Amino acid sequence: MPFRTRIRLGLTCFGLLAAGSSCGGGGGGGGTPTLTVSPGTASVPMGGAAVTFTAKLSGSSNPISWALAGPGSISASSGSSTLYTPPLAGSAPMSATLTATAGAGLSAGATIQITPPLPITVSGRVIGILSKPVAGAAVTLGAASAVSDSDGRFSFPNVTPPYDLSAVVTTPMRVGIVYQGLRRPDPTILLPGINTSPPYSTTVTGEVTGGDPLGATDERTRLAFGSSGDFVLEALSGYTVQSNPYSLKMTWVGPSAATGTIHALQTKVDSGGLPIDFTGWASKTGVSVANSGTASADIVLSAPQVSTIAGALTVPTPLSLLSKRLSIDFGDGASLDLAEVNDRTTSFSFPFPVVPGATATMVVLASLSGSQSSVTLSGIAPGTTNLDLQFRIPTTPISPLNQATGVGLATDFSWTSMPGTTYVLSVSAPAGPNYHVVTAATSARIPDLTSQGLVLPKMVTYDWYVSAYGPSAAPDDLASPSAFVLSGNARFTGFSAQYQFTTP
């Protein structure tokens, strides 16, 4: 380097040093680098919400890394922030130290105090099919027990979450279910297969006019009834009108009388039964129905505007696409299936009627070695053409192996993970008793519910399988008032292949 250049560089560096800045390498900062973590202290309950910690680095551009000493977990081991999640359970206070490091000799920490959760009163409800209350269920939480009342309700005071809760009935079926790791104070406990409410029924008659003539081979005119509140139809597939007068027979549970709306939709179909156009629709409001009665409702169709529902499916390589189904939902419990395609094409496009207040639902199904994965997207606005439904690999059984023998209460059942879901292990036999376990884990055992009246029989062949429901982070999600029906418009489920075993 020429002498003049060396002098010029030296003077430049001298000027920077005189101004209090650094000259040349060393991490790209001036003065002594500093690192701080915020917050410096935090107190969180076990099983509580995650807390974000942020590191501020001055005077250096070194990367920041995170380390945790003590219980809990962090979401990121590098970067300017991390999310600390406390442990789920414990009986005594704990502490943890979170440390951020940005090179040798440069670190800062935060102290985290972890406290046991406060006791709560658990006041819940046992329900069966169609969300009807189950009275007389034996409910157990730890060493405490209760019997559900006429509305299916029960209560336990002074409960420290997380807690396990079981419910058992022995008539008309023998069924038991255990929810593991609950935290919510208001669990709704579903006993699968239990129907405690006889359905009501009625007949609605009338004439359908307008639109195209009824009964043509390429025409489908269908009716569906909807009503808000506790009114639940036993079947939502709709009724096809072939000629006038029509006679719509329907059964429901809930109130013995209700007022609702009859929705009518007329569809032109191709030779395979798929819709190609919609030639009429109507919504007849104020239709009153009562048990063992009759009602009258004349319906006048008018042609709706027609839009399109279209999109594509993302199907991972191991999966085989089975079906795509499109329905129209009217917002009051009424729904009509519009199209079902059983092929492996991953793109779809269906005509869809523009009806006030109505939206579309797409349900797609794929399989993998006897296991199935489904994706449901509801609340789709008419005219949506960029749908992207993505499958997840379903859960599959691991152990015990199919046709295993000597399987009992001490046997561990295990299955593969389906991320973002909560699992239900189901163990059933024709004569029962039947068992279900709701868990966030990928393993479980048949619960010992002998004290509640369920004794696992000897030398009996059982079926077992696992259902996975998502998006879900914990069993609390499946203990909401809607039970196994998760909230939100985008849902996915997995159903494992069904294995068999024989008890010892």
pLDDT tens digit sequence for 238-265: 789 999 999 998 888 878 899 999 999 9
Query: Which burial class, exposed, middle or buried, applies to 200 when counting CB atoms under 10 A from its CB (0-12, 13-18, 19+)?
Result: buried
Confidence at residue 8, expressed as pLDDT on a 0 to 100 scale: 36
- CB burial readout 256-286, b (16+ within 10 A) else e: eebbbbbbbbbbbbeeeeebeebbbbbbbee
User: Distance between CA 285 and CA 226 in Å, rounded?
Assistant: 10
Handedness of CA 210, 211, 214, 220 (dihedral sign): negative
Q: Are 214 and 251 in contact (CB under 8 A)?
A: no
- CB burial readout 4-24, b (16+ within 10 A) else e: eeeeeeeeeeeeeeeeeeeee
Confidence at residue 30, expressed as pLDDT on a 0 to 100 scale: 53
Q: How far apart are the first and last CA of the chain?
A: 89
User: Distance between CA 240 and CA 235 in Å, rounded?
Assistant: 13
CA angle 178, 184, 185 (to 5 degrees): 100
CATH number of 32-115: 2.60.40.10
How would you classify residue 286: left for phi > 0, otherwise alpha for psi between -120 and 50, otherwise beta? left
Please report, for the chain, the start and end positions of each structural domain, with discontinuous segments joined by +.
Answer: 32-115, 201-303
pLDDT tens for the chain, 504 residues long, are 443 333 333 333 333 333 333 333 344 445 789 999 999 999 998 888 889 999 999 989 999 999 999 999 999 999 999 999 998 877 789 999 999 999 888 999 999 999 888 899 999 999 998 788 999 999 999 999 999 999 999 999 999 999 999 999 998 899 999 999 999 999 999 999 888 777 888 999 999 999 999 989 999 999 999 998 777 776 545 789 999 999 998 888 878 899 999 999 999 999 999 999 999 999 999 999 999 988 999 999 999 999 999 999 999 989 999 999 999 999 888 999 999 999 899 999 999 999 999 999 999 999 999 999 999 999 999 999 999 999 999 999 999 999 999 999 999 999 999 999 999 999 999 999 999 999 999 999 999 999 999 999 999 999 999 999 999 999 999 999 999 989 889 999 999 999 999 999
User: Distance between CA 428 and CA 288 in Å, rounded?
Assistant: 41
Confidence at residue 199, expressed as pLDDT on a 0 to 100 scale: 81
The backbone torsions φ and ψ at residue 449, rounded to the nearest 5 degrees and listed phi first, read -110, 30
Amino acid at position 503, single letter: T
User: Distance between CA 382 and CA 406 in Å, rounded?
Assistant: 55
The backbone torsions φ and ψ at residue 175, rounded to the nearest 5 degrees and listed phi first, read -135, 140
